[in-house]
Amino acid sequence: MSTDTWIQKEKERLTEDIEGIRSDIDRLINGEILEDALPRLIQDKVISQQDIKKFRQRTLDTCNDIKYTIKKLMEAEQDQEKRRSAFAAISSVAVLDSEVAWLTSHMEGLRQAIMHISQKAIKVLNWLINHLKPIIQRISTRLWQLISSLMTPKSWTVQGDAGVNLFGLKGSVGISITFGS
């Protein structure tokens, strides 16, 4: 393969990759990839619509800059023009990388915050289940023992709907006890 053929193929590959990035960014923002993740984060106000619009615009502008500087590099006749275009292309790639790094950093910060919140929520959940729930159950048992020792039930009924579990019934549960002689 001649040098000219290789250079032309590399230009085509670069152009394809740049167009791929442009397409992927649009698909990410529009929710066509990652199961609508980014639009959902915007909707839930975890990340601002304005920040994402700016990210998209800066990324697309940078992709255009890279394509333009590659074209200029290919057309350059003098070494100075080639160096200027090469530097501009490499600089634009660094800018593109920093844009993606910004969003990556933002998502990593969210992930860490969610993990922190999740860990705190798990601690609270475990405390409720392992500490309060047994105390409430103990109070309920002792209260029923106290009531049954102080009073004689005349009649009682238990009603329930699906959901909560009491006496094997799931749902909202109601107990009606009539005391007397």
Over the chain (181 residues), the average pLDDT of each successive run of 10 is: 80 87 83 73 79 88 90 86 86 89 85 83 84 82 75 69 52 68 60
SS3 of 56, please? helix
Do residues 59 and 99 make contact, with C-beta atoms less than 8 angstroms apart? Answer: yes
Question: What is the pTM (predicted TM-score) of this model?
Answer: 0.63
Give the number of other Cβ atoms within 10 Å of residue 112's Cβ: 10
Do residues 153 and 179 make contact, with C-beta atoms less than 8 angstroms apart? Answer: yes
Residue 106: the pLDDT is 82
Residue 169: the pLDDT is 45
